[in-house]
Amino acid sequence: MDLEKEINRRRTFAIISHPDAGKTTLTEKFLLYGGAINTAGSVKGKANSKYAVSDWMDIEKERGISVTSSVLQFEYDDYCINILDTPGHQDFSEDTYRTLMAADSAVMVIDASKGVEAQTIKLFKVCVMRHIPIFTFINKMDRDARDSFELLSDIESVLGIQTCPINWPIGSGKDFKGIYDRKAKTVRTFTQTAVGGAKEAKEVDYDVESDELKALAGDTLYEQLLEEIELLDEAGNEFDLNAVQNGNLSPVFFGSALNTFGVEIFLKYFLSMTTHPLARESDEGVIDPVTAPFSGFIFKIQANMNKAHRDRIAFMRICSGKFDADKDVYHVQSQRRLKLSQPQTIMAQERSIINEAYAGDVVGVFDPGIFSIGDTLTAPGNKFAYEGIPTFAPEHFSRLVSLNSMKRKQFIKGITQIAQEGAIQIFEDYNLGMSEIIVGVVGVLQFDVLKYRLENEYGCEIRLEPLPYQFIRWIGDPSTDPGKLRRMNNVKAVKDMKGNPLLLFVNDWMIRMVLEDNEGLELKEFRKN
């Protein structure tokens, strides 16, 4: 198969949602259709494992939440699909932000009973910033739901994007009868099945004007469907593929991921509407995915995916050309030519060694400690770099204390490796160095994850001592000596892992005071990796 054809059949997308909207369940059902797993909640061939495929960390299994993004690749209907499954909880939002940088489109899952929720808004804004197509799956129609028109209005008013329903529900909860396909003008009926193991609900298609459908839906729901179809056709937004692919119009689908109803319809429409890998900007201009030689960037690093080997895997999004495992690549940041060790496709924690991959694919490579998030890799002879991935300012801070001085080396190794993944940020006192370590996180649940991982993966007992600081700012000029700044009462100077100076503040008023009293000082809320 030629290069262009291989690249054009790739689809790489992220799934985003508020916690408990059904994102991970929807992901599992995609895998069922692709034949990647046999039963929802289990890896193929491992019948006794009932955890979600994408939730592979021990703490995820124990708490029943996703705390880290995972990558899932499978084949479906001659497409090669790369799903980037992201945490829904806001305390792990920075991992989601980085993962969205590697996606070409996003699927937004919304709970039909709740509509747009807080975390959905934050993640949506990241998609808007990148102008990536957004597809909406309104989930849990088998439960009592809000009015469908209200849900559309909610999306449009809160998120500021136009919607176009591709299908339309008949009833909800106990009265949920099925969904109407506006293009085919048919209704697919819904019959609830046993949750989990069944590949799909029992589905039958009816012409919208058939007597069988009228009898099945009942007079009230049938008349309501006809009225709503007429209203959609007259007053709804027309489908415009260009508007979808430019991120200005979101196609909307209804269904029940738990019952696997409406999932395959959604998947087929989605694959026909979303794009193959597109060109990306670099510091030397636009890089075409087909005509340019191999290039990619690191968007995620994960330590200890295989605890038996204590390995570090760097997740690389291939942006152009073909990756050949036998050929050297050029690491732009270190200016080194190297061979990527153990390249592999990922199915959450499961891996398969590969010899080649194409633009759009996400590949895991062994990281000996040289990669950072945002690094660019190219074919030798090319030295352009993709735009760095922002590191956002954490909002919660604690002093990190090791309780066993005999394990100091393991302690430093553990916090360094976990920090390199990007989920937490560690800082050292500007004057005292690593004798005082401060950890900063976007959400407080990350403290629990850090403590759990240090104890279980590195054998280090720790104590976290909360600090009163709420804001942190990078100093614009790294050569600035914080010790010479004025108005530094209740302000703490620290360094990040790369030696950059930062200031910790207890409130935003102190930020203004320090800026006023130090003419020419520039403070930044985030930095590019």
pLDDT of residue 34: 77
Give the chain's length: 529
Share of the chain above pLDDT 90, in %: 58
pLDDT band at 190 (very low <50, low <70, confident <90, very high): confident
Please name which of 508, 407, 503, 420 lies closest in space to residue 458, comparing C-alpha atoms.
407
Task: Judge whether residue 48 has pLDDT over 50.
Answer: no
Pick the CATH number of 12-57+89-273 from 3.20.20.70, 3.90.180.10, 3.40.50.300, 3.80.30.20: 3.40.50.300
- Answer with the residue of higher pLDDT: 447 or 303: 447
Which one of 1-5, 73-77, 426-430 scores highest in mean pLDDT?
Answer: 426-430
The amino acid that residue 384 corresponds to is F
Sequence-ordered list of residues with C-beta below 8 angstroms from that of 185, at least 6 positions apart, any chain: 207, 208
pLDDT of residue 349: 55
- Answer with the residue of higher pLDDT: 386 or 195: 386
Domain 280-378 CATH superfamily: Translation factors (2.40.30.10)
Task: Judge whether residue 79 has pLDDT over 80.
Answer: yes
- Answer with the residue of higher pLDDT: 380 or 311: 380
Classify burial at 119, counting beta carbons within 10 Å of its beta carbon; exposed 0-12, middle 13-18, buried 19 or more: buried
Could you tell me whether strands 390-392 and 501-505 are parallel, antiparallel, or unpaired per DSSP bridges?
unpaired
pLDDT band at 305 (very low <50, low <70, confident <90, very high): low
pLDDT band at 418 (very low <50, low <70, confident <90, very high): confident
Q: What is the mean pLDDT of residues 215-243?
A: 94
Q: What are the two backbone dihedrals, phi and then psi, of residue 50, each rounded to the nearest 5 degrees?
A: -110, 20
pLDDT of residue 1: 56
Q: Does residue 365 contact residue 276 with C-beta atoms inside 8 Å? A: no
Pick the CATH number of 390-528 from 1.10.10.10, 3.30.70.3280, 3.40.50.970, 2.40.30.10: 3.30.70.3280
pLDDT band at 28 (very low <50, low <70, confident <90, very high): confident
Instruction: Give the start-to-end residue ranges of the domains of the chain.
Output: 12-57+89-273, 280-378, 390-528
Please name which of 319, 318, 368, 299 lies closest in space to residue 340, comparing C-alpha atoms.
368
Token readout for 508 is: 């935003």
Task: Judge whether residue 193 has pLDDT over 70.
Answer: no
One fold for 12-57+89-273 and 280-378: no
pLDDT band at 68 (very low <50, low <70, confident <90, very high): very low
3-state class of 451 per DSSP?
Answer: helix
Task: Judge whether residue 310 has pLDDT over 50.
Answer: yes
pLDDT in tens, 127-144: 887 788 999 999 999 999
Which DSSP helix (H) or strand (E) runs through 475? strand 471-475
- Comparing 70-74, 148-152, 267-271, 463-467, the range with the smallest average pLDDT is 70-74
